[in-house]
């Protein structure tokens, strides 16, 4: 019983660590997308300033700035989708932590019950130990 419980605890710890890794990965991607979108904003502003045209509908609006806007918008959209995944990952981590806590409390309860069963019974164990010591 204890071996299966230990295996279950290890499995639950693995699940928690896996969910933490996934959470960190998503957060990293969101931060990277935000950095890339900021860089694109800067490049768009430079290109518009260089061309002297900031009106998207103008026929001579810079092609590079238009393409950079599309890319930036895609990054922002992906970032928003990742935020939904981040919320789900946080919820999954909370669930995994709760499961691990339950299993660990059961394991602690089992170990304390095991330690209690190893103690001599009240009124009996000490007398037997004294008797055995006196006989030896």
* CA–CA dist 34, 43 (Å, integer): 14
Beta strands in the chain (DSSP E): none
Structure tokens belonging to residue 38? 């900021």
With cut-offs at 50, 70 and 90, classify the pLDDT of residue 105: confident
Tell me what pLDDT residue 114 has. Answer: 59
Q: Are 34 and 42 in contact (CB under 8 A)?
A: no
Over residues 62-85, mean pLDDT = 97
CA-only gyration radius of the chain, Å: 32
Assessment of whether the complete model's pTM goes beyond 0.85? no
- Residue 12 belongs to domain spanning: 2-135
Residue 93: pLDDT band by 50, 70, 90 thresholds? very high
Does the structure show a pLDDT above 70 at 47? yes
CATH of the domain at 61: 1.10.287
Six token digits for residue 91 = 């919820």
| Number of domains making up the chain | 1
Query: What six digits make up the tokens of 52?
Result: 């002297």
């Amino acid at each position: 019983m204890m071996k299966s419980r230990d295996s279950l605890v290890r499995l639950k710890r693995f699940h928690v660590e896996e969910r933490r890794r996934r959470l960190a990965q998503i957060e990293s991607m969101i931060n990277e997308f935000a950095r890339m979108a900021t860089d694109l904003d800067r490049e768009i502003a430079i290109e518009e300033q260089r061309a002297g045209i900031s009106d998207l509908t103008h026929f001579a609006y810079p092609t590079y700035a238009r393409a950079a806007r599309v890319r930036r918008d895609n990054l922002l959209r992906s970032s928003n989708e990742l935020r939904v995944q981040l919320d789900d990952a946080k919820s999954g981590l909370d669930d995994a932590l709760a499961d691990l806590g339950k299993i660990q409390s059961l394991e602690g309860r089992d170990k304390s019950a095991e330690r209690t069963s190893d103690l001599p019974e009240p009124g009996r164990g000490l007398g037997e130990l004294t008797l055995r010591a006196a006989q030896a």
